[in-house]
Amino acid sequence: MSAPGEFRFVSRDRRVREDRRFVAGRGRYVADIERPGMLHVALVHSPHPAARILSIESQAALALPGVRLVLTGEQLAAAVEPLMNGLDTPHVQRYPMAVGQARYAGEWVAAVVADTRAIAEDAAELVEVAYEPLPFVIDAEEAYTPQSTPVHEKHGSNVLLDRTFVWGEVEEHFAQSDHKLALRVTWGRNSTVPIETFGVVASWDPWSDTLDVWASIQMPKYADQIARALRLPGNGVRVHYDVDVGGSYGVKRGIKHTVLVGHLSRLLNRPVRLIEDRLENMRSGDAHGPDRIFDVEVAFNSDGVVNSMKMRALDNAGAYAGRAPFQLGKPIGAIVGPYRIKSVRYQAVSVTSNKAAQEAVRGFGQAPTNYAIESMMDRVAAHVGIDRLEVRRRNFIGADEFPYLIPSGTRYDSGDYHTVMDKVLAHVEWPALLAERDRLRATGMLAGIGVAACLEPSGGNSSFEPLLNEKNNTTTWMESVRINVDALGTVSVMIHTTSSGQGHETLASTVVGEALGLDPDKIRVVRPDSLASLPGNSPVGSRMAIMMGGAAHLAAGKLIDKCKAIAAHQFGCADEAVDYASGSVIERATGRTLAWADLVGVAHRNHHLLPDGMQPGLEATHIYQVPNASELPVDGRIQMYPCHSFEFHMTLVAIDPILGKVEFRRYVIGHDCGVVINPHIVKGMTLGGIAHGIGAALMEEFVYGEDGQMMSQTFMDYLLPSSHEMPHVEIVHHCTPSPLTVLGQKGSGESGYLGAPAAVSGAINDAVAPLGLRFEKLPIRLTKISDAVAAASPKQDRTL
């Protein structure tokens, strides 16, 4: 591991190589893929939150010129395997389209295939479905009660998961503590909502028995899942990874879409594509995020030191299980945040409801959990009457305590939380910021400062799977890189995933260039299709800097070893007597050098000059196991992710007390993700994450009405922050290298998002605290603020 200053390319101000094609409009997204004879799909949606499907009549639709097929959910289910459930819940069956019963408003009931998308939409309107409406449940707490109507009758209840973990002496710590308090906070259902909807093109070739797939995916084990569901051999599905994905941030999973389209392509022997339109994406793309109520009890001393925490997280998974319940599992790996909390009781409850199904969203449940923990810390501070910063300072794990084992079994790799916070305080000139808040207050504005100290667990593996499902014994979540040096001496690096803006080509070329001492700009990065790919798990869980970076670095190391062996053999010395530097191998004692061209020449052309038994060619592969992560859970404890980035948010907001509008006056984030590979990429991730967080805090929500209908289906109702709503963000850097990774790097793909909602909520609550108000549910809409302020001060005339 090197210190940042020692790098030639890593951490340097270097361009992101992917950007060239994007600014020229030459990205290649799934909607840009054209196959000869391609047909188009539109969907028929259930108008009811719950209804038995009595009949589906497609004659009128089929009569329309250009319509090729109408497929019902029942027909599809007869031909494919059910989609995978994360938990062991065999009676919560899920197929791409409703089978016999629709379970949420918008659910796919039938699919229409036609020559154009417009005709498919025309025909979808003509499919006549007879429904018998059924009772439905939208509210999670109601769904949790035994008397609620089960969304899946055979499952017997709406409870997918109800598991209580006790880590440490919780009751004892509660009994010993000076104070206890309880709070409830609610995280509204939102999502990352990429501007590109999900899309997939599938093309079945009956002469080679191959299904070719182009999709805007970010999904671990995607090809395997498609093959399994379609009853194809694993090597019968070829997923093309050279498709640019127009944003994902977790949600682009698309299994149901792909199984549907793959099946249609096989039925019709034609390429078939489904590009969700925005309405389909919002109401039936199954891409909503966590929807969670936290009940927290906390035990602490008069000095603000927190001893123990009891948390119940009740999550509304929606109509099907999928991987949603696991989003209650991943936060177990950072359940105490950056704090030295000695014991925890955690009850994770996931229930079905007649909302759209939930999918993985940036942070995989960590952002809501961080919001709950940080709300708790603010409440503790208020209760003991000690400054919020001081309370955090007293509870932070110390820089000298790493690796630090938290009660739930994860060992934090490294960190220096005190220093990051102090750097932010110095940057904002804390007394000046306080004075500015008070000055704003004196003008009649509401003004508040919010802080959030949050962890970003990174290097994603899937330890939550065996933890929550004992039938699952997965202990690896590997990533692979292959490096090939051709006979002309140029380097190609193979990566095995799609990318959705993370800059993996830049990442891989930078790391390989650094390791080999070669100009990254001259290194080509290639994405073989899934059939030519090595094992990998896609860019989830803030993992690629660690995992792809690790695999790339270690593969490069193997290549260097080979170069050294070739040269040492030529020099007649031991391998240990030579050094590799910038493409050449030098004998330490004599200074004799074998240059890159010669090394390549020997490897490619001179078998007689190779050491005995060495294979010709210059190629290296590394399949990298997640560091520090090979154990199955013991007693409900497990190492979740290996690395832990840290972010400290501080924001000053001003609120017009009558209008309720929140204006950001200052937004600062202290960020420590270890060694940064490309500063531009990390900066962008952080700012973008903060934008998502601000959206979640203030305006984004999938709202369901009492009639079970989703009311925010368009971008006029589901509000995404624009440039007007985003503050100018100041970033304060810190670097605590991870001891577990090849360069000291940690993850940053979820940064910003993990703390921004908590910080914004904290700022608003600081602003309204003088009125005795507190907001405990996100999003905090401006109308809500205004109404609450008016109710709290009915007599005051706060004309500004």
**Binding pattern to another protein, positions 439-478, x when CB under 8 A?**
----------------------------------------
For the chain, helix, strand, coil in percent to 5 are 35, 25, 40
Kindly tell me which of 643 and 691 has the beta carbon lying closer to another protein: 691
| Per CB under 8 A, 181 contacts another protein | no
- To the nearest whole angstrom, how small is the minimum distance from the Cβ of residue 759 to another protein? 14
| Per CB under 8 A, 672 contacts another protein | no
Kindly tell me which of 222 and 624 has the beta carbon lying closer to another protein: 222
Tell me which amino acid residue 621 is: T
| Per CB under 8 A, 31 contacts another protein | yes
| Per CB under 8 A, 22 contacts another protein | yes
**Binding pattern to another protein, positions 555-594, x when CB under 8 A?**
----------------------------------------
| Per CB under 8 A, 729 contacts another protein | yes
CA distances from 478 to 209, 496, 627, 672 (A): 29, 11, 10, 24
| Per CB under 8 A, 390 contacts another protein | no
Describe the strand order of the beta sheet including 67-72 as a list of residue ranges.
67-72, 108-114, 39-45, 272-275, 199-205, 210-215, 237-240
Contacts (CB under 8 A) with another protein, residues 143-162: none
| Per CB under 8 A, 16 contacts another protein | yes
Contacts (CB under 8 A) with another protein, residues 205-264: 244-249
CA atoms of 190 and 175, how far apart (whole Å): 38
Phi and psi at residue 699, to the nearest 5°: -145, -20
| Per CB under 8 A, 723 contacts another protein | yes
Kindly tell me which of 307 and 497 has the beta carbon lying closer to another protein: 497
- To the nearest whole angstrom, how small is the minimum distance from the Cβ of residue 723 to another protein? 4
Phi and psi at residue 206, to the nearest 5°: -70, -15
Kindly tell me which of 197 and 414 has the beta carbon lying closer to another protein: 197
- Name the one residue in this structure whose structure tokens are 């290194």: 523
Reference 191, options 434, 382, 391, 363; nearest CA is 363
| Per CB under 8 A, 650 contacts another protein | no
CA atoms of 459 and 744, how far apart (whole Å): 12
* 6 C-beta neighbours (distance < 10 Å), count: 10
Contacts (CB under 8 A) with another protein, residues 189-208: 192-197
Contacts (CB under 8 A) with another protein, residues 749-768: 752
- To the nearest whole angstrom, how small is the minimum distance from the Cβ of residue 117 to another protein? 6
**Contact with another protein (CB under 8 A): which of 78, 130, 487, 659?**
659
Which of these ranges, 221-229, 396-404, 569-577, 654-662, lies near another protein under the rule CB under 8 A?
Answer: 654-662
- Name the one residue in this structure whose structure tokens are 């671990």: 220
Which of these ranges, 17-25, 424-432, 467-475, 739-747, lies near another protein under the rule CB under 8 A?
Answer: 17-25
Phi and psi at residue 559, to the nearest 5°: -65, -40
| Per CB under 8 A, 21 contacts another protein | yes
3-class SS string, 382-419:
HHHCCCHHHHHHHHECCHHHCCEECCCCCEECCCCHHH
- To the nearest whole angstrom, how small is the minimum distance from the Cβ of residue 781 to another protein? 7
**Contact with another protein (CB under 8 A): which of 146, 724, 772, 795?**
724
**Contact with another protein (CB under 8 A): which of 25, 233, 572, 613?**
25
- To the nearest whole angstrom, how small is the minimum distance from the Cβ of residue 183 to another protein? 26
Kindly tell me which of 29 and 430 has the beta carbon lying closer to another protein: 29
Which of these ranges, 19-27, 168-176, 352-360, 586-594, lies near another protein under the rule CB under 8 A?
Answer: 19-27
Phi and psi at residue 124, to the nearest 5°: -60, -35
**Binding pattern to another protein, positions 599-638, x when CB under 8 A?**
----------------------------------------
**Binding pattern to another protein, positions 93-132, x when CB under 8 A?**
------------------------xxx-xx--x-------
Kindly tell me which of 534 and 782 has the beta carbon lying closer to another protein: 782
Which of these ranges, 1-9, 141-149, 380-388, 690-698, lies near another protein under the rule CB under 8 A?
Answer: 690-698
- To the nearest whole angstrom, how small is the minimum distance from the Cβ of residue 703 to another protein? 8
CA atoms of 96 and 259, how far apart (whole Å): 7
Non-local (6+) Cβ contacts of 25 within 8 A are none
CA atoms of 664 and 399, how far apart (whole Å): 32
Kindly tell me which of 99 and 731 has the beta carbon lying closer to another protein: 731
Which of these ranges, 14-22, 78-86, 305-313, 594-602, lies near another protein under the rule CB under 8 A?
Answer: 14-22
Kindly tell me which of 16 and 83 has the beta carbon lying closer to another protein: 16
Kindly tell me which of 279 and 609 has the beta carbon lying closer to another protein: 279
CA atoms of 680 and 14, how far apart (whole Å): 8
Cβ contact 212:240 at 8 Å: yes
**Contact with another protein (CB under 8 A): which of 526, 565, 790, 792?**
790
As beta bridge partners, residue 618 has: 485
**Contact with another protein (CB under 8 A): which of 152, 292, 564, 692?**
692
- To the nearest whole angstrom, how small is the minimum distance from the Cβ of residue 100 to another protein? 28
**C-alpha count within 13 angstroms, C-beta hemisphere, residue 766:** 28
Reference 105, options 42, 151, 161, 57; nearest CA is 151
Pairing of strands 306-318, 343-352: parallel
The 10 Å CB-count burial string (b at 16+, else e) for 239-275 is: bbbebbbbbbbbbbbbbbbbbbbbbbbbbbebbbbbb
Non-local (6+) Cβ contacts of 612 within 8 A are none
- To the nearest whole angstrom, how small is the minimum distance from the Cβ of residue 42 to another protein? 9
Reference 33, options 227, 245, 256; nearest CA is 245
| Per CB under 8 A, 642 contacts another protein | no
**Contact with another protein (CB under 8 A): which of 55, 147, 443, 799?**
799
Contacts (CB under 8 A) with another protein, residues 319-378: none
Contacts (CB under 8 A) with another protein, residues 496-535: 500-503
Kindly tell me which of 430 and 664 has the beta carbon lying closer to another protein: 664
| Per CB under 8 A, 697 contacts another protein | no
Query: Per the structure block, which two tokens stand in for 682?
Result: 């990390």
Reference 90, options 102, 82, 101, 98; nearest CA is 82
CA atoms of 339 and 547, how far apart (whole Å): 27
CA atoms of 539 and 364, how far apart (whole Å): 13
- To the nearest whole angstrom, how small is the minimum distance from the Cβ of residue 141 to another protein? 22
Reference 410, options 474, 360, 312, 338; nearest CA is 338
CA atoms of 167 and 144, how far apart (whole Å): 24
Contacts (CB under 8 A) with another protein, residues 40-79: 65-66
**C-alpha count within 13 angstroms, C-beta hemisphere, residue 793:** 16
**Binding pattern to another protein, positions 264-303, x when CB under 8 A?**
-----------x-xxx------------------------
**Contact with another protein (CB under 8 A): which of 27, 168, 601, 617?**
27
| Per CB under 8 A, 716 contacts another protein | yes
- To the nearest whole angstrom, how small is the minimum distance from the Cβ of residue 790 to another protein? 6
Residue 635 region by backbone torsions, left for phi larger than 0, else alpha for psi between -120 and 50, else beta: left
Number of residues in contact with another protein under rule CB under 8 A: 84
